[in-house]
Structure 1
Amino acid sequence: MITLYHLNRSRSKRIIWLLEELGVEYQIEAFQRDKETSLAPESLKAVHPLGKSPVIKDDDVVVAESGAMTEYLIDKYAADRLAPPRGTPEYIEYLQWIHFAESSAMVPLLLKMFLNKDGCKTNFLQAYADGEAMKILTYLSEQLEGKEYLVGNKLSGADIMVYFVVDMVEQSGGLAFFPVLDVYLKRLRTHEACQKAEQLEKELG
């Protein structure tokens, strides 16, 4: 039995989708953000020292970091369905998109979110965050031009990882500037497992 330690309004939503897509038996242990600080509760540190979510426990194996979880779960349960064959150019592309979602993409988007939440005047950071966010979203849009999915023209773990990025941009109102990404997000939401993840995230949030 897999346990997902879930935090509302977090990357955990993409792992719910993945678990639903895999069709494996799992349970969710839900945690709530502090209503004033929006931070994760201290109780999550009993699961992982960083007190972050998502974290999964698969029998005796504990895995943190959603990119690592995605690779681990797909390798174990659906390597023939949700990842290209190892040793192919498509597999290398797949890995790059998985890590893009949590490195190049998330850093400027989170920086923009924190700056907007803080409301402070900056000398450098706001312009930097805006420029970097525009750069990575333009890049993603260009790479998806004429394609339905990121790799091999079928759903993979790369799409499930990048889904959270595009979903986050939609929530900020930024997809109006990127019609290709808007279409892509709508396509991802046609998958029943994605719909189930969004429904569960709302119920748990």
Structure 2
Amino acid sequence: MLRLHFAPLTRSIRIKWLLEELALPHEIVRVAFNRDGDKGFAQDTPAGNFPYLEDGDIGLSESGAIVQYILENYGEGRLEPAIGAPERPAYLHWLHFSEGTAANAINTIVWLTLYRDDAEQHRAIIDAVRGTADQTFGKVETTVSAHPYLAGGAFTAADVMMGFTLWSAKMLGLLTDAHPKTVAYLDRLMARRAFQDAIAESQR
């Protein structure tokens, strides 16, 4: 059985969400989150970070890699366009954009405002990062203004990846009504039962 090392309010939510969407049996291994920045936030998982997935003798970290692994081995063609499908390039773009680009601003804001006590000394950086986040969400806004989901008309794992990023941004006040289509898109994602189950796991 798949075993997901899980800590509340981490990217573990993203993998739990995917597992629920696919209705895959799995075990949750709850782990306390280490907030000690002096120790580099090293977590008590085999890889030292979240999320971490075990599948028999296989262990894997990095949420994007885990998503791809799950889909390749257990997805049975669900939640991703087939190779060669016209929606595939957009799917791949957004699947990796969520962490490769969109999460950068979130990571910086979290570091400077939640894990340090000198945020006011870095106000110029924080304001600049907020501007970068605004530009990033503008790209999402353009896409979801034209299509209900990032890769077109169907919900995919790219929406799982980006959905967690946008949810995090909303919690931090980075995603605002300045991007109404993106907010509405996130609301649709948050209404999904699988997302709600993942959030509920984080609240236990």
| Fold conserved between structures, TM > 0.5 | yes
CA distance in 2, matches of 1:123, 1:189: 31
Letter in 1 for 2:188: R
| Cα distance per residue 1:105-129 (max 9 Å; x no partner) | 0111211232233314238523431
CA distance in 2, matches of 1:93, 1:79: 20
Please state how far the C-alpha of 1:36 moved relative to its aligned partner: 6.5
Partner of 1:8: 8
Residue 74 of structure 1 and its aligned partner are, at CA, apart by 1.0
Matches within 5 A, 1:1-205: 1-34=1-34, 40=41, 42-44=43-45, 47-48=46-47, 51-117=48-114, 118=116, 119-122=119-122, 125-173=125-173, 174-203=175-204
Deviates more, 1:165-174 or 1:96-105: 165-174
CA distance 1:92–1:4, shift in 2 (3 Å): same
In structure 2, C-alpha distance between the alignment counterparts of 1:109 and 1:42, rounded to whole Å:
19
SS at match of 2:72: helix
Number of aligned positions between the proteins: 199
Are the equivalent residues in 1 in contact too, given 2:42–2:49 (CA < 8 A)?
no
- Percent of residue pairs bearing the same amino acid type: 28
Deviations along 1:23-79, whole A, 9 cap, x unmatched? 1110010111246769756532xx11xx10101011221111000011111122224
Distance, in Å, in 2 between the alignment partners of 1:72 and 1:13 is 16
How far apart in 2 are the matches of 1:20 and 1:12? 12
Alpha carbons 1:31, 1:41 under 8 Å: kept? no
Q: Given the superposition, is the C-alpha separation of residues 152 and 185 from structure 1 closer, same or farther in structure 2, using an over 3 Å criterion?
A: same
Query: Partner of 1:176: helix, strand, or coil?
Result: coil
Change (3 A) 1:83 1:42: closer
In structure 2, give the amino acid aligned to 1:151. Answer: A
Cα distance in 2 for residues equivalent to 1:104 and 1:42: 23
- 1:166 to partner: Cα distance: 1.0
SS in 2 for 1:151: coil
Deviation at residue 104 of structure 1 after TM alignment: 0.6
> Do the aligned partners of 2:14 and 2:164 also contact (CA within 8 Å) in 1?
yes
From the superposition, tell whether residues 35 and 100 of structure 1 become closer, same or farther in structure 2 (CA, over 3 Å): closer
**Mapped partners of 2:10, 2:43: distance in 1:** 16
Change (3 A) 1:123 1:34: closer
Structure 1 residues 140 and 79, CA gap change in structure 2 (3 angstroms): farther
